[in-house]
Each structure stands twice: as structure tokens, then as C-alpha cells.
Amino acid sequence: MLFTRSKIFLASTLVASMALVACSNSNNDEKKDATLTASTPATGEASNLSERNAQQRLIDTLQSNLQKANINAKVTGVKATEVPNLFWVSFEGMPAVYATADGKYIFQGDVVRLGEKQLFNVGDTLQAEANKKLFDQLKTEDLLIYKAKGKTKHVVYVFTDVSCPYCHKLHEQMDDINARGIEVRYIAWPRGEQHMPMMETIWCSKDRRAAFDKAIAGEQIEPASCKNPVRSMYEMGLNIGVNGTPAIYNAEGKHIGAYMSASELESALK
């Protein structure tokens, strides 16, 4: 982990964001894109130059302050939020955090906008945008896909682990889910190092789908090994804040819940 527990314990606060049932990680129960990355050149109109320079200074300041605290964290980008002087900061291998414009304070949690009938979480849209980019980069051959029956109405990405009882319950409803026009794309996310070998075996099996079906039902499967994407999928999950399974996201990258019935999933997607 880039942030040690004794320094900044960021990931644990994400538990509160999972409103529905999930198996915990056994290791640790219209707008213009204003993102500036460490490698983004300061190009474009002159009116944007000062803003880009300010964001680059924030990246440099954050990186320096983290290094002073002996925190080995790489800042990969910052993005302005709707809150004045508050930025969304992305890290390599860690969930995003908020930072003040001077780079002196960072925190993770919910920043909620008031004034309307429903509360609005400022970070939801920002995180979803980042998630979608990652999902779009996934190769279909690296996923475990259960296609919709008939016309595909929705696509969901589900971080899963065969050792998780709630993943089992969700998978039991796969026929019903697919019948509702929902395509499920499983991403391997072993909930601890001890579960990594099983997920790698499944992903290396000649018939990945058959192996997964058996394993999640508690049946034995044949050992298999190969070069596989399981660990990189696990790290991607950590990066976007996954801390339990199943973690369900829509095609736009929005986290829509943990375990839910087929009808609840359909309603959430609508």
C-alpha cells in the first residue's frame, strides 16, 4: 500500500459507501475535462494557462508534502471540483482523495451538496468518470462475460470472488439477470492473498466460465496456471475504491451497489 495505516488510513472509509450487502476484503475487512495529469502539457488557450499552472503547482506541492512525510505515493492527476478551492486528486494504486488548493490538507470521505430535495455526493461523478476510462481499457478476453438474452439493454461490471457467499447468491440469479437484458462482465477481485490462486486458476482454465460456475458453487476444479490479469484487476479495484464483493458498476462507471436481486439490479440500472 502506498499510504501506510499509521500515516493515512484512506481505504477503510469506503466501507460506508457500500449501501448494500457485500463480502468484505479479508485483508482489510456537459463539462470540459479539467483533469491535469503529471504528464499533461500545459497547452490550449491562454485563458486556461493560469489554471493549468495552478494545478501543476498543486501536484508538485502535494508530491513534495507527501515525500516530506515519508509517504511513497505518486500523484497522477488533479481535477477541480464544484467546491471552491477543493480538488479531486488521483493516485497510482490508491483511491482518490480531496485536497485543498494549497496542498496542505487531504481527506477522503463524502462531500455532499445541499439545497435540493436529494443530497448530491460531489465525488460520485468524478469517480465514475475515472472508472469508465478504466473499464473501457479492459480487454473482453480478460473478462468473464455472461451475455444478455435477446437485446442487450444494460452492461454491468462486477468485481467478484468465488469465496464470497454474496457473490454466490448473485451468480445464482444469472439466468434471470441475463433474461432482463443485462450483460454481466465479471472482474476478478480476490478478497485476500489466500484467494488469489483460486481466481488465477479459474482465469487460466480452458473453459473459464465452466470453471467459475463450478468453483462458485463449491465444486473442485482442475488446477491451471498461465499469464493472467487477476492481480492487475485486483489492483485496479483498489485504485477505484473497491473493498468488498460483489461490487457492481454500470457502464458509465457509477457504483450502483453490492449484492442485489435481479429485479433490484434492473431497477437500479433504470
89 with 76: CB under 8 angstroms? no
Catalytic residue numbers, as ranges:
161, 164, 167, 191
pLDDT > 70 in the chain, percent: 84
Asked if the model's pLDDT at residue 96 lies above 50, the reply is: yes
269 with 156: CB under 8 angstroms? yes
pLDDT tens-place string over residues 33-44: 444 444 444 444
Q: What is the pTM of this model?
A: 0.78
- For residue 15, name the pLDDT band (cuts at 50, 70, 90): very low
Asked if omega into 229 is within 30° of 0 (cis), the reply is no
> What pLDDT sits at residue 48?
72
Asked if the model's pLDDT at residue 217 lies above 50, the reply is: yes
pLDDT tens-place string over residues 45-94: 545 777 788 889 999 999 999 999 999 899 998 999 999 999 999 998 78
> Nearest 5°: phi and psi at 115?
110, -10
Asked if the model's pLDDT at residue 9 lies above 70, the reply is: no
Q: Which residues contact 95 (CB under 8 A, 6 or more apart)?
A: 10, 11, 14, 108, 238, 239, 240, 241
What is the mean predicted confidence (pLDDT) over 203-213?
A: 97
Which domains are seen in the chain, by residue range?
A: 31-131 (3.10.450.70), 138-269 (3.40.30.10)
Asked if the model's pLDDT at residue 5 lies above 80, the reply is: no
DSSP state letters, the chain: --S-TTT---GGGGGGG--SB-EEBTTB-------EETT----S-HHHHHHHHHHHHHHHHHHHHHHHTT----EEEEEE-SSTTEEEEEETTEEEEEEETTSS-EE-S--EE-SSSS-EEHHHHHHHHHHHHHHHHS-GGGSEEEPPSSS--EEEEEEE-TT-HHHHHHHHTHHHHHHTTEEEEEEE--SSGGGHHHHHHHHHSSSHHHHHHHHHTT--------S-SHHHHHHHHHHHT--EE-EEEETTS-EEESB--HHHHHHHH-
> What pLDDT sits at residue 27?
59
What is the mean predicted confidence (pLDDT) over 223-246?
A: 94
What is the chain's mean pLDDT, rounded?
Answer: 86
pLDDT tens-place string over residues 109-168: 899 999 999 999 999 999 999 999 999 999 999 999 999 999 999 999 999 999 999 999
- For residue 31, name the pLDDT band (cuts at 50, 70, 90): very low
Q: Can you give the length of the chain in residues? A: 270
